[in-house]
């Protein structure tokens, strides 16, 4: 027997479109699941804002997803995950990206030296430090807020041979090379787009942890453990919502998702929720 | 006799803190005037958003300033000025930055080749092209949306010898050098902070037009012509409001205003206006 709830969609949200990297992973792992995505493109970015403002915005975003009858909520945003923490009071299972990424980093490191990147709000929150500290108290952690990574990605400066993103990556990450890290958490769902350039700068010996991809895997196992996966064998349906839509929307969305979704996107007045 | 309205403040607003460059000029030109500033730091930047969203946000910003009984409104933001145009329906005199900057550029150019920079929304709006076209139909115009300038400035990468802002400036402006411009409009109130680097890249022979500074001069003459200047000889009072306040607020505000205002800033819930 298929429970009605199993056919409900998975809800995914982000400050903007970076969270589509999580959707991309979810589609690979769970091709039968329906997904509802919300990107708060009318108020992106969150990572430079205050804790109070990020909390208020995230609560509105989750109210929207709940109105779509989701069976699970994924905060596919390093900033929101860091500010919300575990204390999220919603009626469905919830995960952010911090816990899965921290667990993956602890598993990956050999020398116990882990670098942590994220937005200013993520780094200030100490979310990854707390999570890793609980799992591996002896790990040595090196943090860096990489505030220009999001605009560099959103403006499409992501070519492996382009000196512009490389100088930006070097500016933030060169000190970590000197610290001898062997593992680096990409703690914001925009950052995986820069992974090839980061690897070029840090060298192939540093393992990059994609917080979004780890979260997709974690969410899949959580749904499995709770017997909440859809089992009717039909292909999943995808609904995308944003709070603003610009002329270059399809280009930016395509960067993150690897396909054009511009025809299947609706606009939401998030301020009123 | 001093009319009561003369003592009312001048209202200035921007998507964030870039508009403080206009306040800095106003304070020099009109030291007796009171000023109320609003920066929508909870929703900055505007320049990457859609026309509808920018209009909605700007209307809320102006409602807030009118609630402070201002005698004039200055949209100290290239993006808002470009989207609003001249058709602003408010009960007090209004100016954006486009008209004053366009007039100054037409006056400054000798070879008739003018470069125009701004955010994506500003360039897409063609606001400067229309304004200059009306004043100097034969001018040759070269436009470039410089989307990374705002985050580069807000992250404090503004050192004259820093290769990071220089590579960003070169990326956007090198094509203009080939076009032979002799005048460049800095069409966003964040951009004057990069003026020394822009001059280094383009050469001293290119005249930079600071849209914010031109607007402050225009606003001063408009108030004078309409006999609305304060004449009681007292020093002006300054009130600053923002929709979000972050840990690094005073650093960023100081970059634009040249003084620390962190003690005299209040927070506004702009969404409810």
* pLDDT score of A215: 97
* Distances in whole angstroms, Cα of residue A259 to Cα of each of A44, A190, B193, B241: 21, 16, 38, 42
pLDDT band at A3 (very low <50, low <70, confident <90, very high): low
Element (H, E) at A265: strand A265-267
Is A95 strand, coil or helix? strand
Chain B residues with beta carbon closer than 8 angstroms to that of A49:
41-42, 244, 246
* 8 A C-beta contact, residue A76 and residue A219: no
pLDDT band at A198 (very low <50, low <70, confident <90, very high): very high
When CB atoms are compared, the residue of A157, A246, A271 closest to B271 is A271
Is B247 part of the contact surface with chain A (CB cutoff 8 Å)?
Answer: yes
Question: Looking at the predicted complex, does its ipTM rise above 0.85?
Answer: yes
Is B35 strand, coil or helix? strand
Report the candidate in A98, A93, A66 with the shortest Cα–Cα distance to residue A189. A98
Asked whether the predicted pLDDT for residue A4 surpasses 70, the reply is no
Q: Residue B87 and residue B89: Cα distance in Å, rounded?
A: 6
| A188 tagged catalytic | yes
Asked whether the predicted pLDDT for residue B153 surpasses 80, the reply is yes
* 8 A C-beta contact, residue B129 and residue B141: yes
* 8 A C-beta contact, residue A209 and residue A58: no
CB contact under 8 A, B50 and A245: yes
Q: How far is A268 from chain B (nearest CA, A)?
A: 12
CB contact under 8 A, A244 and B124: no
Work out the average pLDDT over A145-170.
Answer: 95
A–B interface: beta-carbon pairs under 8 A: 61
* pLDDT score of A1: 43
- What secondary structure does DSSP assign to A41-79, as a single string? TTT---TTS-HHHHHHHHHHHHHHHHHTT-SEEEE--HH
* 8 A C-beta contact, residue B13 and residue B57: no
Backbone angles phi, psi at B221, to 5 degrees: -70, -35
**Full-prediction pTM beyond 0.90?**
yes
Element (H, E) at B73: strand B72-75
Is B207 strand, coil or helix? strand
Closest residue in B to A47 (Cα–Cα):
B246
Chain A residues with beta carbon closer than 8 angstroms to that of B146:
none
| B188 tagged catalytic | yes
* 8 A C-beta contact, residue B151 and residue A151: yes
Residue length of chain B = 273
Asked whether the predicted pLDDT for residue B1 surpasses 70, the reply is no
Is A196 part of the contact surface with chain B (CB cutoff 8 Å)?
Answer: no
Asked whether the predicted pLDDT for residue A180 surpasses 60, the reply is yes
Q: Which of B32, B146, B188, B230 is catalytic?
A: B188
Strand partners, B184: B115, B208
């Amino acid at each position: 027997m298929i429970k009605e709830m199993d056919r409900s969609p998975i809800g995914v949200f982000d400050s903007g479109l970076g969270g589509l990297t999580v959707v991309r992973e979810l589609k690979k792992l769970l091709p039968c699941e329906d997904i509802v995505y919300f990107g708060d493109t009318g108020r992106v970015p969150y990572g430079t804002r205050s804790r109070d403002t990020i909390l208020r915005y995230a609560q509105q975003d989750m109210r929207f997803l709940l109105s779509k009858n989701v069976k699970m909520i994924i905060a596919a945003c390093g900033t929101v995950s860091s500010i919300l923490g575990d204390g999220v009071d919603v009626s469905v299972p919830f995960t952010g990206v911090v816990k899965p990424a921290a667990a993956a980093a602890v598993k990956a490191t050999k020398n116990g030296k882990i670098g942590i990147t994220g937005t200013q709000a993520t780094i200030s929150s100490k979310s990854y430090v707390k999570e890793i500290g609980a799992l591996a108290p002896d790990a040595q952690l090196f943090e860096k807020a990489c505030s220009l990574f999001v605009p560099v990605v959103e403006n499409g400066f992501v070519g492996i041979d382009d000196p512009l993103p490389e100088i930006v990556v070097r500016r933030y990450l060169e000190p970590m090379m000197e610290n001898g890290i062997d593992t680096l958490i990409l703690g914001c769902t925009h950052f995986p787009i820069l992974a090839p350039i980061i690897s070029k700068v840090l060298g192939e010996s540093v393992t990059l942890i994609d917080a979004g991809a780890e979260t997709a895997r974690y969410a899949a196992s959580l749904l499995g453990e709770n017997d909440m996966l859809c089992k009717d064998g039909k292909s999943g349906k995808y609904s995308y919502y944003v709070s603003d839509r610009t002329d270059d929307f399809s280009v930016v969305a395509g960067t993150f998702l690897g396909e054009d979704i511009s025809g299947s996107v609706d606009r939401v007045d998030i301020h009123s929720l």
